[in-house]
Amino acid sequence: MNKTLLIGLILLSGLFSSCKKWLDVQPESEIAEPVLFSTEAGFMEAINGVYNKSNTEELYGKELTFGTPEALAQNYSMRDDGQDYRQTTLYNYNHDEFIKRKDKIWAGLYSAIVNCNLILLNVDAKKNVFTGVNYQIVKGEALALRAYMHFDLLRLFAPSYLSGAAAQGIPYSTRYTKDPTPMSTVSAVMDSLVRDLEAAKQLLAVDPIRNAGYKVGYPTVKDTTLTTEERSPVLFLQNRRHRLNYFAVCGTLARVYLYKNDKANALLNAKEVIDSKKFPWTAKEDFSAFDESKKDRILYKELVFGWYIPSMAKNIKERWFQTGVNGLHLISDAGDYIYEKLTAGAFDARYKYFLSKSSTQSSTFFEIVKYRRNSIDQGVNSNLHYLMAPAIRLSEMYYIAAEASFQSSPADAYAYLNQVRLQRQIEDKLPLGNEEEFLKELIKDARKETLAEGQLFYMYKRLNRGIVGQTGAIIPASNKIFVLPLPNDEIVYGGR
């Protein structure tokens, strides 16, 4: 009997000691964090996950690209209000739909940020699972994405650096926790942004996009002397411009430095992109091609960085930019004003190809056709390029370079601006003017260039300038307009 008891006890104690391990059950249809971050592929999937999270309707798939900030910049006419943005254009920040969208932007960006943070919390400990340049790419992009999103949060929900560098900004989240991250001041956030982005830039120095062999071009063109963007055998290293590549980080840095009024560094970074000659200007025949399937409406090759959004094609066609006045559109007076129909507009390719005149019984108006596809088929073949949400484009680098060099050399500044105008077939060069005249021209051109790309609002805010209405009326600059209120949940549960 003693023997039996002894064996029993040994068995029991064995059970106890292996119990903890046994209770550690791994899910199967989803994957636990430590399991995901045990392989290189897992890190790649996590990075792709951040882009996946960001290209949704709530974020860059719609709202942050051609939604709320674009409405705030008075770039849509609101006569029929089929998309429920009228209250947004009136800066009614108590409107239900506006609150819903803004809260989702806040929550969505932070959710993407937490995905970056989880990668960054794991990547250094698992450095040994990586091959080639992948460690630098993963870590660099995670840092850059975190900064990119925080920067957009700051530009929406905090006062501009110019008007309130010391004011309360946003929480700069670098951890994975349920405890709220304390608020930082605007200038502290700027410092964090620069730190993360500079670190990312260093890591991404090995980015294959910098190789001479990396040729930017249309994915439909199979000639490898024209494009090599999809030549890498590793899917993860293809289409670098769909992700925050080295030059995209430079572009973001240029944006951030300019926002911080550090013009020297802004110019440095903008010029790095321009001088790389990586991003060719769009050929006239591609922009103006009559055959829809040969047409490039978003100036694909000029994109330094864009979000890949083919899944939005159907909604773009059938909802947001649907034909008729229920889609996002510009009444004809507004379109004519923005594109200076009577002067430069006569030549401007953007006027011709971003807008399409249409009419109903009661009105004529411009449909915005920048995102129009030949078909809603998600494949690439319906146009020259993928459906993209432009994030950073070459022309913005020219604008930054122009603005950053105006004080030292107005001639250079005008040269940069005129270069963009020339590429859009406006051959008349702008005469030199004073800073105010220069900025006016710069903003006007940026408005034409980035219509429905969600950047203009930030420009007004950065410069603390009044917003130019649809036909020229100025809406005075004010933090009441420029600073979106924090979500209620953030205030209540975060103790803000």
Partner 1 sequence: MKLTFLYNPVCSIQRVKCKLLVVMKLTAILLLIGTMHLSAASYSQSVTVSRKNTTLETVFKEIKRQTGYLFFYSGQVNLNKPLNVELKNVPLEEALKACLADQNLTYNIVDKTIVIRNKQTGAAQQMAVVTGKVTDAKTGEPIPGVSIYLKSDPNKRMNSTNQGEFGMDVNPEDILVFSYVGYKTKEVKVGNSKTLSVALEEEVNQMSDVVITGYQTIKRESFTGNAVTMTGEQLKKINPQNLLASIGAYDPSFKIVQNNLVGSNPNRLPSINVRGSSALPSGDSEVLRRDDFTSGTNMPAFILDGYEVNVQKVFDLDVNRIETVTLLKDAAATAIYGSRAANGVLVITTRAPKEGKLRIDYNYELNVTGADLSGYQVLNAKEKMEYELQAGLYNGGYDDQPQDYLTELYYHNYKNVVGGVDTYWLSQPVRTTAGQKHSINLEGGSDVFRYGVDVRYQTRPGVMKGSSRDQYSGGMNFIYNRGKFQFRNELTVTQVKAIESPYGDFKNYVRMNPYYPMMDASGRYPQLVDAWRSRDQISYKYVYNPLYDAQLSSFNKNGYTEIIDNLSGELEVAKDLKLRAQMSLTTRSLTEDKFLSPLNSKFYEYTPDKTDEKGEYYNGQRKETFWDGNVRMNWLKQLGGSYFNVLALVNVRSEVKDGKDFTAIGFANDRFTSIGFAKGYAEDGKPNSQYEQSRLFGSLLSANYSFQNKYLADATVRVDGSSKFGVDNKLAPFWSLGAGWNVHNEEFLKGNSIISQLRLKVTTGLTGSVEFSPYLSRTTYQYNTGNWYSSGIGAVVDNFGNQNLSWQKTQMTDFSIDLSLFKDRLTLLPRIYRKFTKDILADITLPPSTGFLSYKENLGDMENKGAELAIRWEALRKQDFSINLNGSFVSNRNKILRISNSLKKYEDRANDLQTKPEAEDGFKGIPLLRYREGQSINTIYGVRSLGIDPENGRELYLKRDGTLTYDYDVRDVVPIGNPDPKVEGSFGASFRYKRWNLFTNFRTYFGGETYNLTLVQRVENADAKYNVDRRVFEQKWKQSGDHVFYKNIADLGTTDVNSRFIQDDNLLNLETVQLTYDLDPKIAKRLSMSNLNFTLTANDVVRWSSIKEERGIDYPFARSITFGIRAAF
Rounded to an integer, what distance in angstroms lies between the CA atom of residue 38 and that of residue 42? 7
Rounded to an integer, what distance in angstroms lies between the CA atom of residue 236 and that of residue 44? 7
For the record, the structure tokens of 139 come out as 């870590």
Binding mask 311-350 for partner 1 (x = CB under 8 A): x---------------------------------------
Largest CA distance in the chain: 107
Size of the residue set binding partner 1 (CB under 8 A) = 70
Q: Which is nearer to partner 1, 12 or 90 (CB)?
A: 12
Binding window for partner 1 (CB under 8 A); candidates: 251-259, 277-285, 460-468, 487-495? 487-495
Decide if residue 237 touches partner 1 (CB under 8 A): yes
Decide if residue 296 touches partner 1 (CB under 8 A): no
User: Do the Cβ atoms of 160 and 482 come closer than 8 Å?
Assistant: yes
In sequence order, what DSSP letters do the residues of 362-377 get, joined into one string? Answer: S-EEEEE-TT--S-S-
Residue 297 CB, shortest distance to partner 1, in Å, is: 19
Q: Which is nearer to partner 1, 329 or 385 (CB)?
A: 385
Per CB under 8 A, contacts with partner 1 among 206-235 are 235
User: Do the Cβ atoms of 157 and 486 come closer than 8 Å?
Assistant: yes
Residue 140 CB, shortest distance to partner 1, in Å, is: 14
Per CB under 8 A, contacts with partner 1 among 86-115 are 103, 106-107, 110-111, 113-115
The torsion angles phi and psi of 175, rounded to 5 degrees, stand at -120, 175
Task: Indicate which single residue of 94, 128, 179, 361 sits in contact with partner 1 (rule: CB under 8 A).
Answer: 179
Would you say the C-alpha torsion 172, 57, 204, 271 has a positive or negative sign? negative
Decide if residue 239 touches partner 1 (CB under 8 A): yes
Q: Which is nearer to partner 1, 112 or 443 (CB)?
A: 112
Decide if residue 125 touches partner 1 (CB under 8 A): no
Tell me how far the alpha carbon of residue 104 is from its chain's centroid: 16
Residue type, 220: T
Binding window for partner 1 (CB under 8 A); candidates: 169-177, 291-299, 428-436, 472-480? 169-177
Non-local (6+) Cβ contacts of 16 within 8 A are none
Residue 128 CB, shortest distance to partner 1, in Å, is: 21
Decide if residue 165 touches partner 1 (CB under 8 A): no
Paired strand residues for 475? 467
How many Cβ atoms are within 10 Å of 315's Cβ, its own excluded?
16
Residue 329 CB, shortest distance to partner 1, in Å, is: 25
Binding window for partner 1 (CB under 8 A); candidates: 178-186, 251-259, 289-297, 410-418? 178-186
Rounded to an integer, what distance in angstroms lies between the CA atom of residue 95 and that of residue 105? 15
Task: Indicate which single residue of 64, 154, 170, 452 sits in contact with partner 1 (rule: CB under 8 A).
Answer: 170
User: Do the Cβ atoms of 43 and 130 come closer than 8 Å?
Assistant: yes
Helix (H, G, I), strand (E, B) or coil at 111: helix
For 217-331, where are the alpha helices, taking DSSP H only? 246-259, 263-276, 284-288, 313-315
Decide if residue 494 touches partner 1 (CB under 8 A): yes
Phi/psi zone of residue 331: left (φ > 0), alpha (ψ -120 to 50 degrees), beta?
beta
Rounded to an integer, what distance in angstroms lies between the CA atom of residue 55 and that of residue 388? 10
Task: Indicate which single residue of 140, 164, 169, 171 sits in contact with partner 1 (rule: CB under 8 A).
Answer: 171
Task: Indicate which single residue of 40, 44, 417, 477 sits in contact with partner 1 (rule: CB under 8 A).
Answer: 44
Residues making contact with partner 1 (CB under 8 A): 1, 4-5, 8, 12, 15-16, 19-20, 22-33, 36, 42, 44-53, 55, 103, 106-107, 110-111, 113-115, 117-118, 170-171, 173, 176-181, 235-239, 242-243, 308, 311, 386, 487, 489-490, 493-496
